[in-house]
Every structure is written in C-alpha cells, then in structure tokens.
C-alpha cells in the first residue's frame, strides 16, 4: 500500500469506537451485566465452585483502551501505577479440589495471581491463550481490515498488469524513487494496524497475555498480502524491503504494548504538512508532505506529571524533499532531512482529563498524529523547520 492516511478514516472511526466500547463494558460490569467468565481459565471454569462463577472469587478487570491500563472492578487491588504489582483477585485458595479430578495447573500457589507488568493476564490463567483463540475473537474486525486493504487494490486491476515479480527498491538512498519515504509509510501503516488490532484484542480476550504479538502477526500478515498487489504492477514489484519495514512497524507495536511504561513514554507519529493542494492523497507529493518521528513524551514520566514539561515531546525523525519527477527533470538533487525537535503533546494538553466521547477519541488519535505547525525541527544538515 503506497499511501498513509487512507488509514486516517479507520483510525478516527476505530479510536472513536474503542474508548466508548470500553466505557460501556465498564458500566455493564459495574451493573452486574458482565460476569467473570472472560478472565477464568478453562481449567478453573471446570472446578466445582467456579462452574457458575459464584464461588471462585475471581473479579472482573476492565480496560481503558486509550492507554490499555488495567482497572480493577470486582475484587482486584490496583496498586500505584508503574510498580508492576497490580494483583488479580484470589484464585488459588478458592479452588475446590475435593473430587478426584486432577487439580488445575497453576503457575505458583499463592494468595493471588499477579498481572504481568504490562497489564496482561498471565497465559496460564488467560481465557484465550493461543494465537488462533485470540484471533478468533476479532474475526469481523480482521475481515473489515482485509476488505479495506483489498478495495485499495481494485483500481490496479483495471490498469496494465504483469505477472508476479520481485523488485529491489532500495532503502533511503538518493537514487531510490522516494528516498525512503515509502518505506516509513509501510512501517507506520503496519504499526497503526497492529495498534488498532491490539486495542480490540485487549478487550475481547480479557487482556490475555500474548495479544500484542497476535496483533503484530495479523498486521504484518495483512500488509504482506497487500504487497502482492504491487507485484503485478509494471513499475513496481513485490518488495522485500517493504515487507521488512512492515515487520519493523509491527514489532514496535508489540514492544510498545508489552514493555512496561513504553506506551506511556514513546510514540511513533506522523505529521502531514500542507502543500499547494492542501493534501495530496497519493504519489510523490503525498510522500513529500509526510514527516515521521519517534516522540519521547514528557507526560509518561512521573517526575514531570505536575510540570509544564508534560505537554512537551522530544522528537527524532526523518523526511525528504525535492524528489518529485519534476524536480529531478530540473536537475534538482533530492534531499534527506533527519531531524531532532520538540513538539506539543496536544492530546495531553487538551484532552488528558476529558470524559467525553469526542475528547477520549481525540486523545487516542493524537497519540499517532501530530498536527502541522505544532513542532520545531532542527535538521541535522542545518536549518530549522516548523
């Protein structure tokens, strides 16, 4: 897929739906409409006192999908954030082992089952343990994403095509078609899909351990299949460089959702700078508008939670210019622009405490998109850009 914010509509719609769905889930739980079965392992569900969820002592944990932090609802103890010791309710002492059936396998006997530091239910207690069990909970969502990607491919079928072939597109060299901007687009698209899929899996599987890896595999798989549409274009081909960047984007999402504190501290973002058409949907002019960067978020550090620095991000990124066909025809040399910079975290500034549907959605979206002219970039070759 050779453009970026075709996914923008998906981001907006899904991020809008996700926090709302999470809130509805929490409300239903508090009202007693949701039982504890989603967090009970198959082994526990078969024990006498747990068959009807009345005596196993397992509470329900809901999740704020804007930041995927666990919130105890029924019996769990939420300790101070960041200490990695959030505890699920007692499970082991409540087991009734009076019959002759083998005892359920548990990791360690003890007063409770700790959540992992990243806020997941350990695999041995998770309701969905395997890749296929987890992926099976979001079949409609995966089908929707596959259909969306497929729709982007249809126009190619009405143009000149060739048989399947590979193409070595290179990486970030000045002699490449897009000076690496297409590669970063692949990484960002896959990262974005993985984040969306993980948000759904985290709720649908009851935060089962491994959901981030499942999301990454699904995202990278969808994008690898999409690459086949390039393989029939005369001017393109199946690019292993694109596939590698897809995997890189998915891997970053997996790390962000499994390494404790990383989601709060680091973001992979895109900034779209207006051009003479305001916004170009496809092609080199589309790539030339884009700036990709990693942001180290002040809001993710407890030491800065009362400081104005929580509204500031440190940025390290890349963009390119002067690589349009018209530029090359004029003899203009393409330019690469690695940069460091600072930017406003508008999500934290405007929506961190919002409880409205729109505010929560905006907070989520702004963790992936930087609005133009809200950053200052210092280019490594000299010069400043906004």
pLDDT surpasses 90 at 93: no
pLDDT surpasses 90 at 353: no
Q: What is the pLDDT of residue 235?
A: 87
**Is residue 262 within 8 Å of 84, Cβ to Cβ?**
no
12: which DSSP letter?
Answer: H
104: which DSSP letter?
Answer: P
**Residue 259: Cβ-neighbour burial (10 angstroms; 0-12, 13-18, 19+):** middle
Q: What's the mean per-residue pLDDT of the chain?
A: 78
What is the per-residue pLDDT across 291-314, written as a single tens digit (0 to 9) for each?
999 999 999 999 998 999 999 999
Residue 175: helix, strand or coil by DSSP?
A: coil
**Is residue 334 within 8 Å of 328, Cβ to Cβ?**
yes
Each residue of 323-339: b (16+ CB within 10 Å) or e? bbeebeeeeeebebbeb
End-to-end CA distance of the chain: 28
What is the per-residue pLDDT across 54-77, written as a single tens digit (0 to 9) for each?
334 333 333 343 444 343 333 333
């Amino acid at each position: 897929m050779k453009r970026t914010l075709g996914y923008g509509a998906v981001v907006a719609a899904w991020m809008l739906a996700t926090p709302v769905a999470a809130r509805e889930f929490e409300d239903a739980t508090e009202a007693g409409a949701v039982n504890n079965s989603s967090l009970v392992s198959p082994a526990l569900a078969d024990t006498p006192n747990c068959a009807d969820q009345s005596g196993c002592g397992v509470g329900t944990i809901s999740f704020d999908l804007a930041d995927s932090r666990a919130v105890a609802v029924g019996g769990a103890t939420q300790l101070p954030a960041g200490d990695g010791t959030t505890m699920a309710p007692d499970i082991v002492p409540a087991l009734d082992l009076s019959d002759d059936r083998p005892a359920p396998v548990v990791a360690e006997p003890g007063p409770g089952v700790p959540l992992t530091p990243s806020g997941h239910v350990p695999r041995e207690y998770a309701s969905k343990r395997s890749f296929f069990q987890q992926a099976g909970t979001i079949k409609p969502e995966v089908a929707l994403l596959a259909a969306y990607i497929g729709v982007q491919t249809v126009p190619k079928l009405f143009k000149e095509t060739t048989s399947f072939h590979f193409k070595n597109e290179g990486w970030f060299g000045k002699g490449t078609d897009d000076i690496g901007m297409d590669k970063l687009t692949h990484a960002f698209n896959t990262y974005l899909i993985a984040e969306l899929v993980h948000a759904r899996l985290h709720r649908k599987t009851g935060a089962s351990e491994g959901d981030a890896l499942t999301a990454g595999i699904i995202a990278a798989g969808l994008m690898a299949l999409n690459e086949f549409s390039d393989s029939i274009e005369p001017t393109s081909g199946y690019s292993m460089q694109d596939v590698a960047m897809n995997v890189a984007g998915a891997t970053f999402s997996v790390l962000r959702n499994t390494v404790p504190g990383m989601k709060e501290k680091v973001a992979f973002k895109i900034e779209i700078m207006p051009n003479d058409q305001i916004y170009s949907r496809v092609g080199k002019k589309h790539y030339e508008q884009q700036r990709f960067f990693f942001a180290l978020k002040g809001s993710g550090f407890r030491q800065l939670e009362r400081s104005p620095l929580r509204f500031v991000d440190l940025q390290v990124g890349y963009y390119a210019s002067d690589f349009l066909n018209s530029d090359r025809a004029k003899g203009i040399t393409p330019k690469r622009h690695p940069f460091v910079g600072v930017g406003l975290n508008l999500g934290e500034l405007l929506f961190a405490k919002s409880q409205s549907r729109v505010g929560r959605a905006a907070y989520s979206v702004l963790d992936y998109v930087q609005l133009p002219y809200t950053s200052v970039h210092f280019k490594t070759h000299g010069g400043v850009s906004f």
